[in-house]
């Protein structure tokens, strides 16, 4: 069983303590690197889904999309992330992940 390391976030100044745009940019860049690592792991789950799903019709699942967005909005509220950021960002992530999963499904089944 593979256990990847936890995603590390580089040292940064707390947003409330930032004194300059350099501090702000350093924090944003550090978080972006961590988000890329998390999105790459999420993509690997899409690869697993493409491998596991029995047929191509199972790739797009509207009920699951609605469930994911609802869960994200609950988490966003708990973390004080604006739903105006969370919902469209996750809908785009989901859309691109479904496209990736279709491509992976087709590539591995042909």
Report pLDDT digits (tens) over 44-67.
Answer: 999 999 999 999 999 999 999 999
Instruction: Give the mean pLDDT of 81-97.
Output: 98
Residue 42 labelled as part of a binding site: yes
Residue 109 labelled as part of a binding site: no
* Summary mean pLDDT of the chain: 95
Report pLDDT for 103.
95
Q: CA 44 → CA 62, 65, 94, distances in Å?
A: 20, 18, 13
Residue 71 labelled as part of a binding site: no
Q: Give the DSSP per-residue string, 76-102.
A: HHHTT--HHHHHHHHHHHHHHHHHHHH
Report pLDDT digits (tens) over 3-37.
Answer: 666 889 999 999 999 999 999 999 999 999 999 99
pTM assigned to the model: 0.89
Please give the domain boundaries of the chain with CATH numbers for all domains: 21-108 (1.20.59.10)
Instruction: Give the mean pLDDT of 84-98.
Output: 98
């Amino acid at each position: 069983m593979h256990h990847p390391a936890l995603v590390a976030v580089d040292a940064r100044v707390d947003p409330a303590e930032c004194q300059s745009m350099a501090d702000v940019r350093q924090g944003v860049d550090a978080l972006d690197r961590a988000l890329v690592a998390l999105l790459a792991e999420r993509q690997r789950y899409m690869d697993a889904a493409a491998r596991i799903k029995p047929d191509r019709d199972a790739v797009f699942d509207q009920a699951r999309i609605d469930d994911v967005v609802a869960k994200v909005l609950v988490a966003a509220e708990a973390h004080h992330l604006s739903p105006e950021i969370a919902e469209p960002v996750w809908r785009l992530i989901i859309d691109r992940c479904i496209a990736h999963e279709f491509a992976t499904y087709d590539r591995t089944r042909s």
